[in-house]
Amino acid sequence: MSDQRLDIAENRSAQKYEWGEIVRRVLWGAGAVLFRWTPRLLYGVRNALLRLFGAEIGKNVRIHPSATIYFPWNVSIGDWSSVGENAMIYNLGPIEIGEKVTVSQRAHLCAGTHDATDPAMPLQKPPISVGDQAWICADAFVGPGVTVEEGAVVGARAVVVKDVEAWTIVGGNPARPLRDRELTTG
């Protein structure tokens, strides 16, 4: 057993964000209220608001007003993608969502953590990448530093803490491969 103890005071006193980012966070606090109050079908208004705060939002993107996007300047979402009801985009670090991606209701993409091996538990902001045509199903969790490759499916309530290979369906806690994803035409 180690003699190390957590140093919460050091953690709380650490400068986690630059002043410019603190100002953007305060301004986005007001923008986020407007975002939530827009009627459901006003996707374009929400997309424009996110772009105003630095987000890269593609064409025909649909983001539900109850979705939470922490820092718009740390998100990019490709054409024809959607973010469902009460989805959480906790993007302390960059989150890149490709084209034709579905992030279903209550899914949680978490690009923020702490170094648990350091007594001060400093903030870390590892990026998340979701490839084109992927699907993050309802209530799924995608952890810091994870890449979900093209066409992959993260099953409902799955917990993903390692990269997901292209065109693979994963599920469970922790998520494990279930089968390949094969699209049929017809």
The structure tokens listed for 100 are: 């034709």
| pTM of the full structure | 0.92
| pLDDT (tens digit per residue) in 21-44 | 889 999 999 999 999 999 999 999
- The answer as to whether 90 is a domain residue is yes
E strands of 25-171, at which residues? 56-57, 62-63, 68-69, 75-77, 82-83, 88-90, 95-97, 102-103, 108-110, 113-114, 123-124, 128-130, 135-136, 141-142, 147-148, 153-154, 159-160, 168-171
What's the pLDDT tens digit per position in 115-165?
999 998 999 999 999 999 999 999 999 999 999 999 999 999 999 999 999
Strands (E), 13-130: 56-57, 62-63, 68-69, 75-77, 82-83, 88-90, 95-97, 102-103, 108-110, 113-114, 123-124, 128-130
For residue 176, the surrounding DSSP H or E stretch is: strand 176-180
Per the structure, the complete domain to which residue 123 belongs is given by 8-177
Residue type, position 112, single letter: G
What integer pLDDT is reported at residue 180 of this predicted model?
Answer: 96
Q: Is residue 182 assigned to a domain? A: no
Residue 2 lies in a domain: no
Is residue 39 one of the residues assigned to a domain? yes
Q: Is 50 helix (H, G, I), strand (E, B) or coil?
A: helix
Confidence of residue 2 (pLDDT cuts 50, 70, 90): low
The total of structural domains in the chain comes to 1
Other Cβ atoms within 10 Å of 173 Cβ, number: 11
1-15, 71-85, 123-137, 146-160: range with lowest mean pLDDT: 1-15
pLDDT for the residue 66: 98
Share of the chain above pLDDT 90, in %: 83
Asked if the structure places residue 186 within a domain, the reply is: no
pLDDT score, position 183: 80
| Residue 3 counted as domain residue | no
Domain of 125, CATH number, reads 2.160.10.10
pLDDT, residue 168, reads 98
The answer as to whether 183 is a domain residue is: no
Mean pLDDT score across all residues of the chain: 94
Q: Give domain status of residue 1, yes or no.
A: no
